[in-house]
Amino acid sequence: MHFAQPLALKSGAQLRDYSLVYETYGTLNTAKSNAVLVCHALNASHHVAGTYAGQDRSEGWWDNLVGPGKPLDTNRFFVIGVNNPGSCFGSTGPMHPHPDTGRPYGADFPVVTVEDWVDAQARLLDALGIQQLAAVLGGSLGGMQALSWSLRYPQRLRHCVAVATAPNLSAQNIAFNEVARRAIVTDPEFHGGHFYAHHTLPRRGLRVARMIGHITYLSDDAMEAKFGRSLKNGAPSYSTQDVEFEIESYLRHQGDKFSEYFDANTYLLITRALDYFDPAREHGGDLTAAFASAVCKFQLVSFTTDWRFAPARSREIVKALVDHKRDVSYAEIDAPHGHDAFLLDDPRYHGLLRAYFDKVAREFGHV
């Protein structure tokens, strides 16, 4: 969907003449009361569920959760996935032409925030004629968008389902993002963010960025269980540069794959959106004050082994909501997979979300 009206951004800049790519699943009911918005995290898109005809391995990134008969059941709900501006999966982003010059934005793409994405999503809903969402659902950075919805548009959602998320990034979280950004920005092929014009890609930087990211997505224990100290070739070959351990092979493979499809400027933009999200900042760091405007019901979920967005961070949000006597339910799932658990189909986790969405469906009369 194309938007001719500029989007005012939190930075003071604006995004002009942009498009959002979105997908929907299921049918909007006549009362328009069964819509659920699913917000994506760093490395995902509007393609939440289902497969594309004739395309192998084209499952949506949350296909295990969203679909007919699944926990977020598209026989009941009208589910919307939208790609955020600044991304590299279809919506207007750094690889698209700057309206002033006709050349790719590159590093000149305006800095976008979680709040800006939520505003863009709200405009999409306006265009779709949906005044109030049954729920906004997101994990990780997507969970931050769900939380932001509850604060910016409190009347436009009845439920906020925020999984494996945090009220802001810790210093350590920012530190990991910054190392990844430095790896990209200092890659000579980055060319100050205008690598498109040089017909090249900062692949080396993207690989290192992705390897760092992967370490933080997995728990120490999960990595130990999956790879341990296994050697690729059974015995050490005593080399500083060759692959020696299985974990190295895995990380290099993940880095290589990522560097072929992900845009370097998008990586910078999305990690910055993570860094900046901090609804308490405007309230002197008081998260309870920040949540004063929220009126919807909340379901929060965290995973015991998630050290990127640890359970304690979700509990901060729960406390802020309880301080306001809001309707909040919180589940801490004992799962071994670290942050990645939010994308996996742990039966307790999916059972919980199924029960929650069943309740949401009953509210609009779907028995």
Give the three-class secondary structure for 103: coil
* 267 contacts: CB under 8 Å, gap ≥ 6: 42, 180, 181, 184, 206, 209
Q: 28 φ, ψ to 5°? A: -75, 125
Are residues 149 and 156 in contact, defined by beta-carbon separation less than 8 angstroms? yes
Q: Is 339 a catalytic residue?
A: yes
Q: By CB under 8 A, tell whether 10 contacts a copy of itself.
A: yes
Residue 211 in the binding site for a copy of itself (CB under 8 A): yes
Choice between 124 and 185, CB closer to a copy of itself? 185
300 binds a copy of itself (CB under 8 A): no
Residues 170-189 that bind a copy of itself (CB under 8 A): 170-172, 174-176, 178-179, 181-183, 185-188
Q: Give, in order, the Cα–Cα distances in Å from 325 to each of 124, 295, 363.
A: 31, 10, 21
Q: Which of 95, 111, 124, 331 binds a copy of itself (CB under 8 A)?
A: 111
DSSP tag of 357? H
Whether residue 93 contacts residue 273, with contact meaning beta carbons closer than 8 Å, is answered with no
Beta bridge partners of 252: none
Q: Which of residues 213-272 bind a copy of itself (CB under 8 A)?
A: 214-215, 218, 220, 223-224, 226-229, 236, 238-241, 244-245, 247-248, 251-252, 255, 265, 268-269, 272
Stretch 44-103 residues interacting with a copy of itself (CB under 8 A):
none
Q: Does 363 participate in binding a copy of itself (rule CB under 8 A)? A: no
- Closer residue to a copy of itself in complex, CB, 18/78: 18
**What is the three-class DSSP state of 245?**
strand
How far are the Cα atoms of 60, 118, 316, 327, 330 from residue 84, in angstroms, in the given order? 16, 9, 27, 29, 27
**The one among 257, 281, 359, 362 contacting a copy of itself by CB under 8 A:** 281
- What is the bridge-based pairing of β-strands 66-67 and 135-139? unpaired
Which of 360, 347, 362 minimizes the C-alpha distance to 36?
360
Closest to a copy of itself by CB, 61 or 277:
277
Contact window for a copy of itself (CB under 8 A) among 19-27, 45-53, 210-218, 340-348: 210-218
Cβ 99 to a copy of itself shortest distance, Å:
20
Closest to a copy of itself by CB, 110 vs 143, is: 110
Min dist. Cβ of residue 173 to a copy of itself (A): 9
Q: Are 330 and 315 in contact (CB under 8 A)?
A: yes
Asked if residue 364 lies in contact with residue 134, where contact means CB atoms within 8 angstroms, the answer is yes
Among 38, 65, 134, 208, binds a copy of itself (CB under 8 A): 208
- The answer to whether residue 350 is catalytic is no
Among residues 76 and 207, whose Cβ is nearest to a copy of itself? Answer: 207
Q: Catalytic: which of 73, 116, 187, 306?
A: 306
Q: Write down the residue that tokens 């919807």 correspond to.
A: 296
CA geometry: angle 61, 266, 23, nearest 5 deg: 35
Query: Residue 156 or residue 308: which is nearer to a copy of itself going by CB?
Result: 308
Return the SS3 of 139. Answer: strand
Q: Is 140 a catalytic residue?
A: yes
Measured from the CB atom, the residue of 171 and 367 that comes closer to a copy of itself is: 171
Residue 142's H or E segment, with its range, is helix 141-152
Cα(289)–Cα(278) distance, integer angstroms: 12
Which residues participate in catalysis according to the annotation? Answer: 140, 306, 339
**Residue ranges that bind a copy of itself, judged by CB under 8 A:** 10-13, 107, 111, 168-172, 174-176, 178-179, 181-183, 185-188, 193, 204, 207-208, 211-212, 214-215, 218, 220, 223-224, 226-229, 236, 238-241, 244-245, 247-248, 251-252, 255, 265, 268-269, 272, 275-276, 278, 281, 307
